[in-house]
Structure 1
Amino acid sequence: MIDVDWDSDTLAALTDFANHEVDVDRRKALGAAAYSVAALALPSSSWWARMAQRSSARPGTGTVSVGEGDVEAVREMVSAFSRSDQRRGGGHARSTVVHYLTSDVARLLRGRYTHEPVRRAMFSAAGELAYLAGWMAFDNGQHAHAQAGFRLAVRLAAEADDQPLAGHILRAMAHQAIDLGHVRPGVELAAASIDGARYTLASPRERALLGVVHARALGASGDTRAAAAALLRAEYDLADARAGDEEPSRVFFFGEASLAHETACTLRDTGDLAGAQREFRRSVRTRRADTFTRTHAVTLGYLGAVQARQGSIEEACATWSRALDAMDGIHSARTRAVVADMRSAVSPLRGRGIPAVASLDARAATYLAAT
């Protein structure tokens, strides 16, 4: 079970995270691993201030001396793993990410620092890595693992006093909660992600990312008017982003295509299927599919589902066929869910002699059997 106590020591929590990975896998085999709604409760406002002071008060216990070069090395690894995740999905190399975090990076976090800013920068880099471990687990349907990774990442971001990173992580927690049907805590997490300095200190691109997930949470809750206002603000924020902006590498993936994807999901969830189709098409049209392959495949799957709901089943089958083409080499529970949804959508039409349906259903069944 995930520890819901936010006041334990962060480095002890890192050790617990390593143990949790093993424990969840063991309980999963027994059918007992679970995502915890109770663990979505956020700490008090005073907790954030205490955590920001904790790093400087903690003496280094290790023998390694940590400098700016070590921080850059960790950030380079985070960037490489992030790009792999975007292309190949969260099921590819996640165990490597977790091992790197809980061994090499854990040793650096316990080291002796040349300057206090270096300490904060290292905790920030470790927070991004823990977030990535959580995000990859989320993408691969390992929701208990994901939740543990996100909670650890929040602790590390708080010790680094990195408000925009904390917002980025809370946004991911909101995304997961909404996808799993926990709408009310999802709205609360999304609102927390844009609260105060988490939003104001973020770069325009990151503000747009936080805002569009907030919009999606509002849409899922049925607050259509507030969702529309949040979507508009996210559009404005992304329009303010400029080449050469000082922004974290973690937002490298977020551009017009990603904004259109999340906008489409929001419109779909509020019942605007025509608007959702328009935005999914914009996302497909503007995305660099060779770099962001996983999300491209998911977007095509969602677009096909909207087309099917509108009665255009042959058009949907053509779109879904493109999605299956894009899924080659991807390890992601989200792509598997898309394919399962394809089969569910066409199931009433099986045996009716529609070639597009028969071909698509056979390909989808083969994909699911293989993955």
Structure 2
Amino acid sequence: MARTRNERLAALLAETGWSQPKLAAAIGRVAQEMAAHELGAISRSHVAMWIAGTRPSGRAPHILCETLSRKLGRPITPADIGLEPGETPSGSSDWNADTLTMLGSLGRDDLDMLHRRTMLTGAAYSVAALTLPAPAWWNQTRAAARNRPAASGRTVTGADIDDLRQLTAFHSARDQQRGGAAGRSALVAHLTLEAAPLLHARFPDDTTRRDLHTAVAEMTYLAGWTAFDASQHRTAQRYFTLATKLAAEAGDGPLAGHILRAMAHQAVDLGHPRHALDLATASMDPTRYGKATWREKALLGIVHARALAATGDRPATLTAISRAERDLNRAGTDHPERVAFFAEASLAHETACALRDLGSPKDAEHHFQRSVATRRRQLYTRTHSVTLGYLAAVQVRQGRLDEACGTWNQALDAMSGVHSGRARDVIHRMQRDLSPVRQRGGHQVTELTHRAQEMLSAIG
């Protein structure tokens, strides 16, 4: 039976201005980002067959849509590329979806994914979904939450809220020590089975309603952060969006800024600097930054600096770093638990990343060294191991192979017991950095490469 040429896909490809090989290469980059290794070998011939009428299989339709969405700057759906209607990979509708329905369905899907140890179907990180809703949305969302009717006979108490806060603090400490992939199923189960149902209950007053929404938002944010650290990027993005919606429903500007900052961090790491800067700038809005504590302000400010550095704006980056340093110097003990981790070592780490991205490895090395020296490494083992990996990378860039190998060995030592996608990324980066010098590196490079392979197996 003759296939029918896919004219819609052909038209969109023409609109991008890409050749078939360029589209195949772009699909490969998105597939790598979401660990869709089965699509790593996409070639021009695959694209040609799709245009000729062969249907892409598995996750390919969603990744193809996301790739075209990024290039064209608008959401592209399966129907737009001539396939049956399905989930819109852009995820832009998440901002307007019903919060409680979305939280329940995402949590259940995530638990199922964790039990099966597979990726969510079509779970491509969506650049289109990074576009924030209009300013009026924030007030409308808060007003709508006030008028949401209770769907259960239970009444929320202060003890319920305290329980959620304690659980979030426990899982946050575990994330800092063991990495986001450790204990994620327990956190998601708590969120889905214990926290989410409370949003359907009665509230004795509006203060309790706001406090409950803030507590659930913080747990939802943490579910997103652990997914981000586990390299489950689309899942993380959807949790971050949900957490921001819950913060808006609570009228909690500083918490919304905190989550937007995390979304900016993720966008920087995944190579989307312009979108990262938009998110970081939104986190610095007076309704968020202006009402935050000094420690919170410092964290928002340094991630803003990271986003500026990713766009190559050196003067603005340095100004933002100085502002973050001043804010942290003003910080006392009055701050939310969610930013208790952020101190001199964290500021130094993010400053170093910004300077590295600006092409100043020597300055970056100085701040990475300061981060290593000042971090309470037993409490923050995951970040300590990543910092050491980043430090080694800037050392090898400056031609100091022996010193870099020593630092990488320290990083691998620190990774023992850590289960983190970012730690795994450090090892992959190390392997790439060592590849050009493998022949002249001698015994130490051979041993380090062997250790790296063993650690990759242990991290999972």
Query: What is residue 154 of structure 2 aligned with on the other side?
Result: 64
2:233 maps to 143
Tell me the amino acid that sits aligned with residue 392 of structure 2: G
The aligned counterpart of 1:359 is: 447
Partner of 1:262: 350
Whole-Å separation in 2 of the counterparts to 1:324 and 1:86? 16
1:84 lines up with 2:174 in the alignment: yes
Question: 217-226 vs 56-65, which deviates more?
Answer: 56-65
The structure with more radius of gyration = 2
Quick one: which amino acid aligns to residue 306 of structure 1? V
Supply the distance in 2 between the matched residues of 1:104 and 1:362 (Cα, whole angstroms): 44
How far apart, CA to CA, are the structure 1 residues paired with 2:357 and 2:204?
A: 50
Alignment: residue pair count: 369
Judge conservation of contact 2:109–2:120 (CA < 8 Å) in 1: no
Q: CA deviation at 1:106?
A: 1.2
Of structures 1 and 2, the one with the larger relative CO (CA 8 A, separation 6+) is: 1
Counterpart Cα distance in 2 of 1:113 and 1:127? 17
Aligned residue in 2 for 1:177: 267
- TM-score w.r.t. the length of structure 1 is 0.96
CA contact (8 A) 1:205 1:251 kept: yes
Any idea what the Cα deviations from partners look like across 1:179-226, whole Å, max 9, x if unmatched? Answer: 111111110000000111200110100100000000000001011100
Which position in structure 2 is the counterpart of 1:99?
Answer: 189
How far the C-alpha of 1:19 sits from its partner, in A, is 4.6
2:443 corresponds to which letter in structure 1? P
Q: Which runs of 5+ in 1 are unaligned?
A: none
CA distance in 1, matches of 2:295, 2:119: 40
C-alpha distance in 1 between matches for 2:255 and 2:278: 17
Q: Which residue of 2 aligns with 1:282?
A: 370
| 1:121-177 Cα deviation digits (max 9, x unpaired) | 000010001100000000010001101110110110000000000000000000111
The secondary structure found in structure 2 opposite 1:365 is helix
Instruction: Give the alignment partner of residue 323 of structure 1, picking from 411, 414, 420.
Output: 411
Given the two structures, how large is their TM-score scaled by the length of structure 2? 0.78
Shift of 1:359: 1.9
What letter matches 2:106 in structure 1? F
Deviations for 1:95-128, whole angstroms, at most 9, x for unmatched residues?
1111111111111111111221011100001000
Structure 2 CA distance for partners of 1:364 and 1:91, relative to 1, 3 Å: same
Q: Which moved more, 1:44-53 or 1:289-298?
A: 44-53
Larger mean Cα displacement after TM superposition, 50-59 or 216-225? 50-59
Q: CA deviation at 1:249?
A: 0.3
Q: Is the 8 A contact 2:385 2:412 kept in 1?
A: yes
| Matched letter for residue 47 of structure 1 | W
Superposed counterparts of 1:1-371, under 5 Å: 1=89, 3-5=91-93, 6-21=95-110, 32-243=122-333, 245=334, 247-352=335-440, 354-370=442-458, 371=460
CA distance in 2 between partners of 1:223 and 1:237 (Å): 21
Identity score, percent: 51
- Secondary structure of 1:331's match? coil
Q: What is the letter of the counterpart of residue 427 of structure 2? A: V
User: In 1, are the aligned partners of 2:90 and 2:128 still within 8 Å (CA)?
Assistant: no
Residues 55 and 120 in structure 1, CA contact (< 8 A), matched pair in contact too: no
CA distance, structure 1, for counterparts of residue 309 and residue 441 of structure 2: 38
CA deviations over 1:276-300 (Å, ceiling 9, x no partner): 0000000000000000000000000
SS of the residue 2:180 aligns to: coil
Distance in 2, Cα, partners of 1:353 & 1:62: 66
Question: Contact conserved, 2:392 with 2:405, CA < 8 A, in 1?
Answer: yes
User: Is this contact kept in 2: 1:215–1:226, CA < 8 A?
Assistant: yes
